[in-house]
Amino acid sequence: MSLPLLRGRLRPRTWTHLLNLPPPALLALLYAGLIVTGAVALMLPLCNTGTIGFFDAIFTSTSAVTVTGLVVFDIGTELTPLGQGVIALLIQMGGLGLMTFAVLILMALGLPVGMPQRVILREDLEQTSLTDLTVLVRLILKAALICEGGGAIVMAMLFVPELGWAEGLWAAVFHTISAFNNAGFALWPDSLSRWVGHPVVVFAVPAMFVIGGLGFVVLADLFEARTWRRLTLHTKLTLVGTVALGLLGIVGFGLLEWRNPATLGGLEGVWPRVGGAIFQGLTPRTAGFNTVDISGIHDSTALMMISLMLVGGGAASTAGGIKVTSAIVLLLATIAFFRRRQTLHAFGRSLGVEEVMKCMALTTVSMLVVMMGIFLVSLSHDGNFLDYVFEVASAFGTTGLSRGATGDLDALGRLTIMGIMFLGRVGPLTLGFFLATQHRPRIGYPSGKVYLG
């Protein structure tokens, strides 16, 4: 027997091989384990006031880990400060990535980051290469510390004068973590509605969840390139898409709700209306805060917000949805088809068929998940259909906005929403990974023709 073969037989099997699961499956199990652990922690007497059942705890833990923000009880009154701290920790770990924290711990202890950990980290950060992953992890840590540290200071300027030092500082830290990670959890039942026109809420909170929703790859590229010409195609598409969708949300929400007495029309003065339109027009980018009553918006506004929630934020970010770049690639593919082009072009770069096929697969699986979710929720609910569509879209985009249907869901509805939140965070392609097997065809077939349209 040759020496290399002997070494291969004597080499100890890693834990990933022992589990005999592909990286996406292991990643899903890790997030599921974090959800269960979070639910158990929320059930502890020190974390709640004694009125929370396990079903409520597991739903809230799922919402926190998937950085969604849908809740079935008031976390500001039903959870103790320790319980709220558990929510903040779950949001942080779910938003930045569970494997990111694991790698940070290994690096802090001076332990090497092995290949199994790198493979799962690659899946968690939605990367295609195993190189420079530790560099990206360090950047994620720096971005989180800078944005959340600065955000907490700014938010404290609002909360401390009104709530006092202890409660105000905690509110600033909690809402900063929730904002940067695109979670949308708030400590008050009306979210941030009491500060609808306050400059800190209008500008600082959206700034945090927009930055968090850009994606850490984009932040790294912006830090290194510093000029538009040196930016990568991914960064340019993400920035252009984010600005375009943000303006669409702000202008659309403002025009549609300006005279609605249940939302912007009920506010006194021009600036509160403008501030409400700015804030609420940006939140469908997977951040579920609200400064107006979402249950009072027009159906046309709800349809616009559903579309924005399904698109979501940037790839490898704290946001959900099919992602901005996927939507842009599909749009470019449509334009290329009508112009009879074989390749896609954007900013002096071309995209191949592989990128288009991946976006098509992602969008198809996403729509199937959303449609199945709507069907399951509607099985036992005959209320306002648009409210449940809004709820499902919010869960899939890990947004957290709701028109008030969350509390009305029965067991099947809650389980469905929990599953959609989980898929929206771990990734629809993970589901496709279980359904597909990679193999090379042994035989070839002659080409055929199918008439489309």
> Taking the mean position of all CA atoms in its chain, how far away is CA 343?
30
Residue 332 corresponds to which tokens in the numbers above? 């470019």
Tell me whether residue 378 is in a domain. yes
pLDDT score at 130:
58
The percent of residues above 90 in pLDDT, for the chain, comes to 58
Q: Which residue has the higher pLDDT, 433 or 177?
A: 177
Q: Which domain holds residue 231?
A: 26-433
Tell me whether residue 11 is in a domain. no
Q: What is the pTM assigned to this prediction?
A: 0.90
pLDDT score at 15:
45
User: What are φ and ψ of residue 451, in 5° steps?
Assistant: -85, 120
- CA gap 278, 301 in Å, rounded: 14
- CA gap 324, 317 in Å, rounded: 11
Tell me whether residue 449 is in a domain. no
Lowest mean pLDDT among 135-144, 237-246, 321-330: 135-144
CB 401 within 8 A of CB 294: yes
The model's pLDDT over 333-356, given as tens digits with 9 standing for 90+, comes to 999 989 888 888 899 888 888 788
The model's pLDDT over 250-286, given as tens digits with 9 standing for 90+, comes to 999 999 999 999 999 999 999 999 999 999 999 998 8
Tell me whether residue 330 is in a domain. yes
- CA gap 450, 453 in Å, rounded: 10
- Which residue in the block uniquely carries the two structure tokens 């799922």? 62
> Taking the mean position of all CA atoms in its chain, how far away is CA 332?
24
pLDDT score at 26:
76
Task: Classify 410 as helix, strand or coil.
Answer: coil
CB 178 within 8 A of CB 91: yes
- CA gap 13, 29 in Å, rounded: 20
Domains held by the chain: number = 1
Tell me whether residue 38 is in a domain. yes
Tell me whether residue 12 is in a domain. no
Tell me whether residue 14 is in a domain. no
Give the residue-averaged pLDDT of 220-239.
89
pLDDT score at 5:
43
Tell me whether residue 178 is in a domain. yes
Residue 144 corresponds to which tokens in the numbers above? 């989180």
pLDDT score at 2:
46
How big is the chain by its Cα radius of gyration, in Å? 23
